Amino acid sequence: MTTVLARGTVVVALDPANVVEADVVVDGDRVVAVAPAMSEGAGMHVIDCTGCLVIPGNVCAHTHAYSALARGMPYRLAPPRDFVEILRRVWWRLDRALDEASIRASARVAAMEAVLSGTTTLVDHHASPGVIDGSLDLIEDAFAEIGVRSVLAYETSDRDGPGHARAGIQENRRFLARVAATSPQLVRGLVGAHASFTLSDETLEACVDLAVSSGRGLHIHVAEDAEDERDAEAMHGRRVLDRLERAGGMAPVPVLAHGVHLDHAEAALFRASGATLVHNPRSNMHNAVGRAPLGMLGSRVALGTDGIGADMFEEGRTGYLRLAEEHGSSGRSGTGPGDDLPMDDAGDADASWPLRRLAAGARLVADAFDEPEFGRIVPGAPADLVVLDQPLPTPITADTLAGHWVFGLSARAVRDVLVAGRVVVREGRLTGVDQDALTAEARVQAARLWERLDAIGEHPFVPGEVMVG
Ligand SMILES: [Zn+2]
């Protein structure tokens, strides 16, 4: 089946920006041509994109689909006073309340919200201590129904005891082995690990062993809160990234979420590693953990939502505005962490910042799928495409794309979405499933999940007790 996205303005690449007037021809799962006025042959499926912008699908490089039913959930404990209490009183209660039906419902909602907002790949980090074995398959199946691409991992941790840690590693091992054996079209895996402060040396070592034997890097939270660094220094005598590096966790290259409290030495270690760091500005602002030292992190900084939906227009805009507020939008007068160094890519607060961050996320996915052209609209690239239908009242060129992105474009404009050549959203609605029925079922599951959650108390884990189990 050949599909032609006809007569649109095509964003061939985000970084450096490249914009052309062209038709995009998709055959099977790939872009096969990008050229002006292709002749539209018989039997071709033509999608008229006149007046629309065609962009590569956005990547959310760190998220937690399991939190998709959290919106509005009950909370009757004392308000959390710090980040660890947020985990103990909110997220580590929610994850323990999850059962198979609510994992599936959460994943379906997360996938729906992703594609409806123009995000075609989710790099997910999953935790459900009550259902570990097979949990990644539940997510894979739910994502496949909607048609979203993903990179999955199970969040290994010692916080629920060594048995759960072993089960987490086993789930990653099982899933990675199956993905390696079958190469599914839309999913790859990483080795999921929670964070240094909930990982014993033994568990971290087992995660690294799996990363090395599978050739898939870790997906791990690093230095999201100062407590992670305090714990690493107190319990292991070194900083978080130093601990990870000495354990062998920087090769194969990992996906590192947050990095808010990395110091100069850790930033240098990160930059030398080829790893990707995922910045989650809305989550960091909401948890009041601080802002990552972007000025010293280089260009391999991608964007994630950390579970706050999957609207990468919104995430990019928020991250940019926060940086611009500190630096001025021309970029050079920062007062934040790491800003004593000359600004470089991730710290440069010009309007192209969201485009550069999204391109870094696409490079991560390109590596995971071994698809070097992923994230660009060129012949040979996987056809993950989004059609935005929104008035563009000023000229749209490579030079003006960043301005449109920051000050105009919105997930509300998403009209059509293709993932691997399959139309998964048409005229703003899911094509593969009845989205009203999906939403109704999600509400039923959310109510059940909230009831179980309400009966679960604060998680007993405190940093420094990781060996106790
Ligand atoms: Zn996270």
Residues 169 and 309 in one domain: yes
Q: What is the pLDDT of residue 466?
A: 61
Residues 25 and 162 in one domain: no
Residues 213 and 172 in one domain: yes
CA of 290 to the centre of ligand 1 (A): 15
For residues 145 and 123, what is the distance between their CA atoms, to the nearest angstrom? Answer: 17
CA of 62 to the centre of ligand 1 (A): 6
Residues 280 and 417 in one domain: no
Last residue of a domain, one of 343, 369, 395: 369
For residues 151 and 189, what is the distance between their CA atoms, to the nearest angstrom? Answer: 5
Residues 377 and 318 in one domain: no
Residues 418 and 336 in one domain: no
Q: How many CB atoms lie within 10 A of CB 111?
A: 31
Q: What is the pLDDT of residue 464?
A: 85
Q: What is the pLDDT of residues 75-134, one digit of tens each?
A: 999 999 999 999 999 999 999 999 999 999 999 999 999 999 999 999 999 999 999 999
Is position 32 within any domain? yes
Last residue of a domain, one of 369, 391, 421: 369
Q: How many domains does the chain have?
A: 2
CA end-to-end distance (rounded Å), the chain: 55
- Who contacts 247 (Cβ-Cβ below 8 Å, separation ≥6)? 201, 204, 205, 208
Q: Which of the listed ranges 181-185, 335-339, 344-348 does the model predict with the highest average pLDDT?
A: 181-185
For residues 181 and 190, what is the distance between their CA atoms, to the nearest angstrom? Answer: 15
CA of 194 to the centre of ligand 1 (A): 8
CA dihedral (262, 267, 272, 276) in degrees, to 10, reads 60
Alpha helices in 288-345 (DSSP H): 312-327
CA of 221 to the centre of ligand 1 (A): 6
Q: What is the pLDDT of residue 328?
A: 74
Q: What is the pLDDT of residue 372?
A: 97
Q: What is the pLDDT of residue 349?
A: 84
CA distances from 29 to 191, 261, 409 (A): 27, 41, 26
Domain limits for position 391: 2-56+371-430
- Who contacts 389 (Cβ-Cβ below 8 Å, separation ≥6)? 51, 52, 413, 415
CA of 306 to the centre of ligand 1 (A): 5
Residues 91 and 202 in one domain: yes
Strand pairing category for 385-388 and 301-303: unpaired
Long-range contacts of residues 434-443, Cβ cutoff 8 Å, at least 24 apart: 435/112, 435/116, 438/108, 438/109, 438/112, 439/109, 439/112, 441/105, 441/108, 442/68, 442/69, 442/105, 442/106, 442/108, 442/109
Residues 96 and 40 in one domain: no
CA of 388 to the centre of ligand 1 (A): 29
Residues 101 and 237 in one domain: yes
Residues 356 and 398 in one domain: no
Last residue of a domain, one of 347, 369, 391: 369
CATH number for 389: 2.30.40.10
Q: What is the pLDDT of residues 277-328, one digit of tens each?
A: 999 999 999 999 999 999 999 999 999 999 999 999 999 999 999 999 887 7
Residues 93 and 178 in one domain: yes
Query: Is 468's pLDDT higher than 50?
Result: no
For residues 245 and 226, what is the distance between their CA atoms, to the nearest angstrom? Answer: 19
Q: What is the pLDDT of residues 347-357, one digit of tens each?
A: 888 899 999 99
For residues 127 and 168, what is the distance between their CA atoms, to the nearest angstrom? Answer: 9
